[in-house]
Amino acid sequence: ASENFTFVCVSVDLDHFESDYNNIREQIDQLFEDANYRGVNLLAGDDLVTFFNEDRDNTLTTQGVDFTALGLGIDEGDFTNAADIQLSIDDVRSALASVRAFGQSIANDLSIIQTRRDFTESTINTLQAGADDLTVADQNEEGANLLALQTRQQLGVTSLSLAAQSQQSVLALF
């Protein structure tokens, strides 16, 4: 009688595992439906195009993948025999490999986008600093420069005046 009890518990456990498996499979489809951002769903096979310049001729296309349960190759679970259970395990392992490969692809594209963003931000900061150097002046420094130029101008006018007076003095001797 205890052997039958063990078999019944295993059967109940398998039914519970099958139910959990199929519930998770449904959750994958619901997650896929919620993975939409600005009209693009990479998990539904939509492609995301990133533009790097205003002419829109320098782009990076991130290709989406169908990550529904069927797109991942995860069929509805049937845990009535060991072969079907193994088939479900193989489906999940294959799906996991697909998800990891897609994750690596997304990570590579993200790295490219971040590098381009960092370069663009650095260029913008350099250009803004240059523009600030051209337009934002230190009032004290510029005032001192103006005073120095005015002093030079006055000294130049005085030296010309002295030169002209000395020539008139020489002419007055004749």
Nearest residue to 44 (alpha-carbon basis) of 111, 90, 102: 102
Q: What pLDDT, on the 0 to 100 scale, is given for residue 173?
A: 65
Query: Of the candidates 65, 158, 174, 171, which has an alpha carbon nearest to the alpha carbon of residue 109?
Result: 65
Q: Is the pLDDT of residue 70 over 80?
A: yes
Residues 21/80, Cβ–Cβ less than 8 Å: no
Percent of the chain with pLDDT over 70: 88
For residue 88, the tally of other CB atoms under 10 A from its CB is: 21
Q: Which band of pLDDT confidence, cut at 50, 70 and 90, is reported for residue 115?
A: very high
> What is the overall mean pLDDT for the chain?
86
The two tokens of residue 9 are 């518990």
Question: Would you say the C-alpha torsion 65, 66, 68, 71 has a positive or negative sign?
Answer: negative
| Radius of gyration for the alpha carbons in the chain, expressed in angstroms and rounded | 40
Query: For 117-156, what is each residue's pLDDT tens digit?
Result: 999 999 999 999 888 777 777 788 888 889 999 999 998 8
C-alpha to C-alpha distance for 155 and 25, rounded to whole angstroms:
92
Q: What would the two tokens of residue 34 be?
A: 């919620």
CA 145/CA 114 separation, integer angstroms: 44
